Amino acid sequence: MDSVDLQVLKTAVEWTKQGHRALLSTVIRTWGSAPRPIGAMMLIRDDGLVVGSVSGGCIEDDLIARMRQGELKIATPRVDTYGVSGDDARRFGLPCGGTLQIVMEPISEASRITEVLDLLEAGTLVARRLDMATGAVSVAPADSASCTFDGSSLVNTFGPQYRLVIIGGGQLSAYLAQVAQGLDYRVTVCDPREEYADSWTVPGVELLRDMPDDAIVALKLDAHCAVVALTHDPKLDDMALLEALKSPAFYVGAIGSRANNGKRRQRLGLFDLKPEQIERLHGPIGLFIGSKTPPEIAIAILAEMTCVKNGVVPTQTHDKLRPASAEAAGQR
């Protein structure tokens, strides 16, 4: 599953090869309550076909209409602003007082998007710099993800900003990996068991056959990493958790019922983990949404991860909404 950015970039290459004229719009600045973040992109074809988005839909409609009417036949990049006045805000569906500024650029082979995609395929974080005066583009590896605009150039970075390490290569892991890639995670699955590793088929995911603790150490987790243990085997899950809970990873979780997670915390307390490190463990994992099937459980896990990543305290958790004696659905 491609992220939205990848869909836009890949479509830009495809439409260019087909001979279509296309315009790439990138959000560079917002005021008030903006519906899309800085760096969000939308691609419009000459016939009005669209991929991606820069707002809730009304600005897209205006851009499509202008594209079809030939008003956006531009040779070099330019900046457009929507929602400066209260009337414009209401017209374009922006919140009251909200303002959205976008850079629009014509796309061609000189846009170097194929080069960006090649670097992304190699796992590189990529910075694409657009010169506003000439439309010239340069591409280079980046150290961090950002989107900046100084009036003379637009620099947008592409690539996974977050990493997800999944311990175990079972069915639930496959669903979790697929959806996580759509959320722009770079996913690594670790499973030393041949019967699971040999049958892993999810494309775009790095597969490691190392022991989980060795893999976690070698991956050098940072604050943009999440670790989810899904094997149901304490010999594998606990080994990974021992190292992950010592790391700066923003999220560490393990599948299992409340009773099993209570026992897991007791086992972890026998090793060199501090109480506050053990307290970081999310388990039973995921938000309580009544999930029973592997796809539903994957969504519940990613929902909780998203809460933590965005600084929102997850309140609808299994331990707060279910009796202590009940096991979370799908978590046995």
Looking at residue 316, what is its pLDDT? Answer: 77
Looking at residue 97, what is its pLDDT? Answer: 53
Looking at residue 28, what is its pLDDT? Answer: 94
Looking at residue 325, what is its pLDDT? Answer: 36
CA-to-CA distance for 306 and 284, rounded, in angstroms? 16
Looking at residue 251, what is its pLDDT? Answer: 97
Looking at residue 151, what is its pLDDT? Answer: 94
Looking at residue 203, what is its pLDDT? Answer: 92
Average pLDDT per run of 10 along the chain, which is 332 residues long? 78 96 94 75 94 83 90 93 66 62 95 94 87 96 88 90 93 96 91 96 94 95 94 94 96 93 93 93 92 95 95 76 41 38
Q: Is CATH 3.40.50.720 correct for 162-321?
A: yes
DSSP assignment of 38-94 equals: TT-EEEEETTS-EEE-SSSSHHHHHHHHHHHTTTT--SS-EEEEE--SHHHHHHTTP
Tell me the backbone φ, ψ of residue 157, rounded to 5 degrees.
Answer: -105, 150
Looking at residue 327, what is its pLDDT? Answer: 41
Q: Is 224 helix (H, G, I), strand (E, B) or coil?
A: coil
Specify the domain boundaries for CATH 3.40.50.720 within the chain.
Answer: 162-321
Looking at residue 6, what is its pLDDT? Answer: 85
